[in-house]
Amino acid sequence: MAVIEEVDFCFPQLHNTSCRKPVQNRAETIFLYILLSVISVVTVILNQLVIISISHFRQLHTPTNLLLLSLAVSDFFVGLLVMPIEILQTGGCWILGTVICGVFHYYSFILTSASVGNMVLISVDRYVAICDPLCYSRKVTVRRVELCVGLCWACSVFYNGVILMDFLNNPDRYNSCYGECVVVITLINGAVDILVTFIGPVTVIIILYMRVFVVAVSQARAMRSHVTSVTQQRSVCVTKKSERKAARTLGIVVVLFIMCFCPYYYPSFAGQDYSSSEEVSVVTLWLLYFNSCINPVVYALFYPWFRKSIKLIITLQILQPNSCDSSIL
């Protein structure tokens, strides 16, 4: 006697138009929910600590840290707004409706593009600091960095609005059934997107950091070959050493960024249309999002000021009067 397999729909009351739920192992699904939820919570907490640290303590109000602050803001919203919705989709059904589908993909694309732009700005900052240290304070000011960060976010909002214009006008255009949230970027738009948001920025980043490390190595050799006794010269040497250390740390951030983003852009390299439901697997998508969790971990490992500020925040010492003037560096 044949056994009729029961079909599970995303929306049983709309079984004629509803998508079917994919068959999933219950234990694996629960484990995946827990793992991804932990990543989301850790991403929010760590980046929030970065945001509070740089915003609260006056000693950290430097041009470089403002760029780190902008990066932490984009990473924070990835953990707060993007990851939880992606976790809901792990079950295979989109339950938030057509409008949220369009809004979700729009702001997730904005956050991704803003992160790329912040990485480029960080690379330019390190290039000027290492290769032209005498003019750094004149060329790179807080006001100019604030302007660049604002332009970065504004361009990200405008650019992704253009790329996703057709999708935003009709978010359910590519949905085959009720319970999907599919965005498709054509081959032409995908080629433009990968050039603007990946190949171009990554090329600039690599070139600048190659120049930074070449100059840093030459400076280190020069410093080892000369023993200075003048206090001012020693101060300059310490400053250069600090700048090289910052460049090294941010270099690690950039390398991890490239490693996390490359798999996500593979479909465009392979000449395929981008589809949020097919070509981009869960693994590559979450690897991209996981980069938002990695960055503050790198800061904690390599930046003493971040570890010290975390201690002050956790112990609630930042609530004391004049805590913003505490010595962090």
The CATH number for 132's domain is: 1.20.1070.10
Residue 8 lies in a domain: no
Residue 16 lies in a domain: no
Long-range Cβ contact pairs of 73-77 (< 8 A, separation 24 or more): 73/47, 74/111, 74/114, 74/115, 74/118, 74/292, 75/43, 75/47, 75/115, 75/291, 75/292, 75/293, 75/295, 75/296, 76/43, 76/44, 76/47, 76/48, 76/51, 76/292, 77/107, 77/111
Range with top average pLDDT, 157-166, 167-176, 248-257:
157-166
Burial class of residue 13 in the structure, from the number of CB atoms within 10 Å of its CB (0-12 exposed, 13-18 middle, 19+ buried)? exposed
Range of the domain at 291: 30-325
User: Number of structural domains, the chain?
Assistant: 1
Tens of pLDDT, residues 79-95: 999 999 988 887 778 88
pLDDT of res. 5: 45
Cα 47 to chain center, whole Å? 10
Tens of pLDDT, residues 122-153: 889 988 988 888 888 888 999 999 999 999 99
Instruction: Give the confidence band of 236 by pLDDT, cuts at 50, 70, 90.
Output: very low
Residue 194 lies in a domain: yes
Residue 63: count of CB within 10 angstroms of its CB: 22
Residue 86 and residue 34: Cα distance in Å, rounded?
Answer: 13
Instruction: Give the confidence band of 1 by pLDDT, cuts at 50, 70, 90.
Output: very low
* Whether pLDDT at 294 is above 60: yes
Q: What is the mean pLDDT of residues 47-52?
A: 93
Residue 324 and residue 329: Cα distance in Å, rounded?
Answer: 13
Q: Which of 271, 262, 253 is nearest to 185 (CA)?
A: 271
Structure-model confidence comparison of residues 230 and 15, the more confident one: 15
Residue 63 lies in a domain: yes
Residue 120 lies in a domain: yes
Q: What is the mean pLDDT of residues 186-202?
A: 83
pLDDT of res. 250: 63
Overall size of the chain counted in residues: 329
Q: Worst-scoring range by mean pLDDT, 42-56, 69-83, 218-232, 292-306? A: 218-232
Residue 21 lies in a domain: no
Phi and psi, residue 275, nearest 5°: -135, 130
Tens of pLDDT, residues 7-38: 677 777 776 778 887 777 788 888 888 999 99
pLDDT of res. 18: 80
Q: What is the mean pLDDT of residues 40-54?
A: 93
Residue 222: count of CB within 10 angstroms of its CB: 11
Q: Worst-scoring range by mean pLDDT, 29-33, 195-199, 299-303, 306-310? A: 299-303
* Whether pLDDT at 231 is above 60: no
Residue 9 lies in a domain: no
Residue 136 lies in a domain: yes
What is the three-state SS of 114-135?
HHHHHHHHHHHHHHHHHHCHHH
- What is the residue type of 235? S
